[in-house]
Amino acid sequence: MTAATLPNNALIGGYLASAVCFIVALKALSSPRRARWGNLIGVGGMVIAIALTIVDQHAGPDGIIPIGMVVGAAIAVPTARLIRMTAMPQLVAIFNGVGGGAAALVSSVEFLHVQPAHPGGLHVLEMAFGVVIGGLSFGGSLVAFAKLQELLTGRPITFPGQRNLHAVAAVGIVGVGAWTVASPHLAGLVILAALALALGAGFCLPVGGADTPVLISLLNSLTGLAVAADGFALDNLILVVAGTLVGTSGALLTKMMSDAMGRSLPNIVLGGLPSAGSTEVVGGAAAAGGVRSADATDVGTLLAYSSRVLILPGYGLAVAQAQHTLVELVAALEARGVEVSYAIHPVAGRMPGHMNVLLAEANVPYESLDDLETANAKFSSADVALVVGANDVVNPAARDDPGSPLYGMPILNADQATHVVFMKRSMRPGFSGVDNLLLYDPRTVLLFGDAKDSLTKLVAAVKAA
Amino acid sequence: MTGGGLDILVVFVLAAFLGYEVISKVPSILHTPLMSGSNAIHGIILVGSMVIADEAHGPLQIGLALAAIILATLNIVGGVVVTDRMLEMFKGRDRSGGAAPGPPGSGGSPGNQDRPG
């Protein structure tokens, strides 16, 4: 704030306008009709705050402010615009992570700047919070990104002594933090940053793939708090307001998401999923059963002569970009008088709402999408449950087997339909890595292949039937 | 900026309650867009990055400040564009040559989850 050129009142007034924009944006983002507008209001708030700061701070040394913004935007726009819709969750993870990294860097530079002047203990504590929380979020987001990008396995990564190691790192952060506050020195800050990165990453390793969206929401909330801590360190109102808003609304959203999955938050972040041992046993038992596979003509005939069909889309549909073909199949079935509806699991795909977004792109009206409860009321009277590229969200073990790692997650009760058809690429288990006994059920048939190819064949088969 | 430590604490506590109250009963289809939208909002750390960039001295501080500005800009711009792409789908209008065509059947296949069924 050395080169401040704006009167303090103008700056505070502008930041107030910006804060109001953010509050309105969050409110609007919670309602389907105003969500897109809400995002734009958020942009408005951002533009106000940044424009004021540019006027106040100019270009910085060597013009790094405009240079950095141009470089950042030049990377972000093409990445965010061109990436496939299926890769959206990992993009959210990485964009959250870089925010946490920026928050940690801001506190670090402030520390380097004020350290020679012997800053007070409270000021150092604020910067230490910024570095630690930002570092946790950055490290955690990188692991979440790697899991979703499948650079790491989606299954929980566990090893003996993991929790003790986390405890040691946490105690280390508190100890080094206290040491740094007592006598501010660079080494303390570097160790804090390293420990926070390691703990953030380690914390996320045991979280199962299906729980990753909840994890990203938690990390998002953490980044908000890191930004608020920076706001305290820099005595900057808008950082405190916006960071805190994201911190607490993000915490609430995290709870809503874990509730939607029927998982408790402590269970997700502390427990991870139980060890893989029980899974192996289930897999072994199931392997003995064998599966029935069918070709598209059989399945097409089954569908064409049904009176009620429920469609359960999953990640496989998104990967194959087969949503338009699926809509064609539904139209062909409806033309024959078959009653068809979509059963949408809240976390089908890789993020909550993934399937809604995908089907909306194919112009499926929201009214024809049934949520978990509505759909589950229909299965017992359905002739066919057609599972298109989903797996974990129909695994009966989540309902029936207390020993299963998935136990407790609400599922679509596809096993209550008269027939179950799985469209799958292979016998691979779902993202959680847990085998699905429904695949071996005598009422189940499997139609192997890419979802788009299979659906195209089904459309032809239904029309021919 | 605020002239004291206490009033910023007041702002913090009020903002904490407001953040908790402002979103209520979010339908599950909006969980991800809301997460992504609030993700963009904490990109406000760009303002903090600009403030510390302005006071940075020496190559280490300037280098770290530049990195902070780049990362914060990525956070804002990426967050906003991703959120907009998600919400674009909600309009349900006809989209020709849309932004999301992916090569069918390629990519995203869980490479290391092979396990005998």
**Domain residues for B49?**
43-88
Query: Which pLDDT score, from 0 to 100, does residue A32 have?
Result: 77
Looking at CA atoms only, how far is residue B46 from chain A in angstroms? 8
Nearest Cβ partner for A39 among B35, B80, B105 = B80
Instruction: Mark whether A252 and A286 lie in a shared domain.
Output: no
Instruction: Mark whether A335 and A251 lie in a shared domain.
Output: no
Classify residue B50: in a domain, yes or no. yes
HSE (CB half, 13 Å, CA atoms) of B39? 35
Query: Which pLDDT score, from 0 to 100, does residue B102 have?
Result: 35
* Amino acid (one-letter) located at A231: G
Interface with chain B: mutation pick from A27, A77, A92, A280, highest number of B CBs within 10 Å: A92
pLDDT: is A85 or A390 the higher one? A390
Interval A60-71 mean pLDDT: 88
Domain finish residue from A215, A240, A271: A271
Block residue for tokens 């993202």: A431
Distance CA A420, CA A418 (A): 7
pLDDT tens-place string over residues A326-380: 999 999 999 988 999 999 988 787 777 778 878 887 888 777 888 888 889 999 8
Query: Which pLDDT score, from 0 to 100, does residue A278 have?
Result: 37
B7 touches chain A (CB under 8 A): no
Instruction: Mark whether A213 and A244 lie in a shared domain.
Output: yes
CB A91 within 8 A of CB A79: yes
Mean pLDDT of chain A: 86
pLDDT tens-place string over residues B70-109: 999 999 999 999 999 888 766 543 333 333 333 333 333 3
Cβ-Cβ contacts under 8 Å, A36 against chain B: 84, 87-88, 90-91
Do the Cβ atoms of B28 and A353 come within 8 Å? Answer: yes
Classify residue B29: in a domain, yes or no. no
Distance CA A463, CA A336 (A): 9
Classify residue B65: in a domain, yes or no. yes
Q: In the beta sheet, which residues pair with residue A333?
A: none
Classify residue B15: in a domain, yes or no. no
Whether the per-residue pLDDT at A276 is higher than 60: the answer is: no
pLDDT tens-place string over residues A10-32: 888 999 999 999 999 999 998 87
Reading the block at residue A120, the tokens are 């007070």
Do the Cβ atoms of B37 and A31 come within 8 Å? Answer: no
Pick from A462, A463, A452: nearest CA to A326: A452
Query: Which pLDDT score, from 0 to 100, does residue B95 have?
Result: 37
Whether the per-residue pLDDT at A424 is higher than 60: the answer is: yes
Distance CA A379, CA B48 (A): 53
Query: Which pLDDT score, from 0 to 100, does residue A279 have?
Result: 38
Whether the per-residue pLDDT at A277 is higher than 80: the answer is: no
* Amino acid (one-letter) located at B82: V
Whether the per-residue pLDDT at A173 is higher than 60: the answer is: yes
Classify residue B75: in a domain, yes or no. yes
B12 touches chain A (CB under 8 A): yes
**Domain residues for A48?**
1-82
Whether the per-residue pLDDT at A280 is higher than 60: the answer is: no
- Is pTM beyond 0.80? Reply is no
Cβ-Cβ contacts under 8 Å, A88 against chain B: 32, 36, 82, 85-86
Query: Which pLDDT score, from 0 to 100, does residue A2 have?
Result: 45
For helices B45-55 and A88-114, angle between their N-to-C axes, nearest 10 degrees: 30
**Domains held by chain B: number:** 1
In this structure, what CATH number is given to the domain that contains residue A387? 3.40.50.1220
Task: Scan residues 60-89 of B and list those with Cβ closer than 8 Å to A.
Answer: 60-62, 64-89
Domain finish residue from A240, A271, A302: A271
pLDDT tens-place string over residues A183-207: 888 899 999 999 999 999 998 988 8
Do the Cβ atoms of A260 and B64 come within 8 Å? Answer: no
Instruction: Mark whether A336 and A396 lie in a shared domain.
Output: yes
Instruction: Mark whether A293 and A362 lie in a shared domain.
Output: yes
Instruction: Mark whether A242 and A367 lie in a shared domain.
Output: no
> End-to-end CA distance of chain B, in Å?
63
pLDDT tens-place string over residues A300-318: 888 988 889 999 998 888 8
Instruction: Mark whether A350 and A406 lie in a shared domain.
Output: yes
ipTM over 0.90: no
Classify residue B37: in a domain, yes or no. no
CA angle A427, A428, A429 (to 5 degrees): 115
Whether the per-residue pLDDT at A94 is higher than 90: the answer is: yes
Instruction: Mark whether A381 and A404 lie in a shared domain.
Output: yes
Q: In the beta sheet, which residues pair with residue A423?
A: A388, A447
pLDDT tens-place string over residues A202-247: 989 888 766 788 899 999 999 999 999 999 999 999 999 999 999 9
Query: Which pLDDT score, from 0 to 100, does residue B96 have?
Result: 36
**Domains held by chain A: number:** 3
Do the Cβ atoms of B77 and A80 come within 8 Å? Answer: yes
Tell me the pLDDT band of A127, cut-offs 50, 70 and 90.
very high
Instruction: Mark whether A108 and A67 lie in a shared domain.
Output: no
Tell me the pLDDT band of A250, cut-offs 50, 70 and 90.
very high
Give the count of Cβ contacts less than 8 A between chain A and B.
454
Please state the separation of Cα A46 from the chain's center in Å.
Answer: 23
pLDDT tens-place string over residues A317-328: 888 888 899 999
Instruction: Mark whether A387 and A457 lie in a shared domain.
Output: yes
Q: Helix count (H) and strand count (E) of chain B? A: 4, 0
Tell me the pLDDT band of A436, cut-offs 50, 70 and 90.
confident
Instruction: Mark whether A422 and A291 lie in a shared domain.
Output: yes
Domain finish residue from A221, A249, A271: A271
Q: Which residue in chain A is spatially nearest to B61 when comparing CA positions?
A: A109
Task: Scan residues 28-47 of A and list those with Cβ closer than 8 Å to B.
Answer: 29-32, 35-36, 38-39, 42-43, 45-46
Lowest model confidence (mean pLDDT) among A126-140, A267-281, A405-419: A267-281
Interval A416-441 mean pLDDT: 82
Please state the separation of Cα A284 from the chain's center in Å.
Answer: 31
Query: Which pLDDT score, from 0 to 100, does residue A270 have?
Result: 66
Distance CA B92, CA A380 (A): 31
Classify residue B61: in a domain, yes or no. yes
Contacts of A13 (CB under 8 A, 6+ apart): none
Classify residue B96: in a domain, yes or no. no
Instruction: Mark whether A113 and A244 lie in a shared domain.
Output: yes
